[in-house]
Amino acid sequence: VQVQKILNLLWVIFQPFLFALIGAEILMEQLNLSTIGLGIAVILIALIFRTVAAFVSVMCAGLNFKEKCFISLAWLPKATVQAALGSIALDTAIEKDAPEDTIEVGKQ
């Protein structure tokens, strides 16, 4: 219980830094419009699949339709771990002196 309290406190302190650092890595003026469009499409398709999968996973749980819909929507939020790890590929490419096109893909 003591460890959980410490980790909760650390999360409250460092969570804003995590989001700020992730946001600082994105340079909007360097993004291609096609990359933004593809990103939005991937997110929407993933949300549809997540919603359907959440709904199907509680089909036999004895819940009514409204409860199943609520669970499907409640399970939509996603952790930012993937976003935090996304910049590692770019950092690795820069460290290894990768070709410029590889670095550009990492930036996108």
Q: Kindly report, residue by residue over 20-30, the tens digit of the pLDDT.
A: 776 666 677 77
Can you say whether the dihedral through the CA atoms of 52, 55, 59, 65 is positive or negative? negative
Whether residue 66 is predicted with pLDDT greater than 90 in this model: the reply is yes
The rounded distance, in Å, linking the Cα atoms of 85 and 87 is: 6
DSSP conformational letter for 80: S
Residue 10 lies in a domain: no
Whether residue 98 is predicted with pLDDT greater than 90 in this model: the reply is no
Half-sphere exposure of 3 (CA within 13 A, CB side): 0
The rounded distance, in Å, linking the Cα atoms of 73 and 65 is: 12
Residue 106 lies in a domain: no
Reported as a pLDDT band with limits 50, 70 and 90, residue 67 is very high
**Domains of the chain: total:** 1
CA nearest 104: which of 17, 42, 34, 37?
34
As a whole number, mean pLDDT of residues 87-92 equals 78
User: What is the reported pLDDT for 31?
Assistant: 76
Rg (CA), the chain: 19
Residue 54 lies in a domain: yes
Residue 9 lies in a domain: no
Q: Which domain holds residue 43?
A: 31-76
Whether residue 70 is predicted with pLDDT greater than 80 in this model: the reply is yes
- Which is more confident, 10 or 39? 10
User: What is the reported pLDDT for 25?
Assistant: 65
Whether residue 80 is predicted with pLDDT greater than 60 in this model: the reply is no
**Using an 8 Å Cβ cutoff, are 107 and 94 in contact?**
no
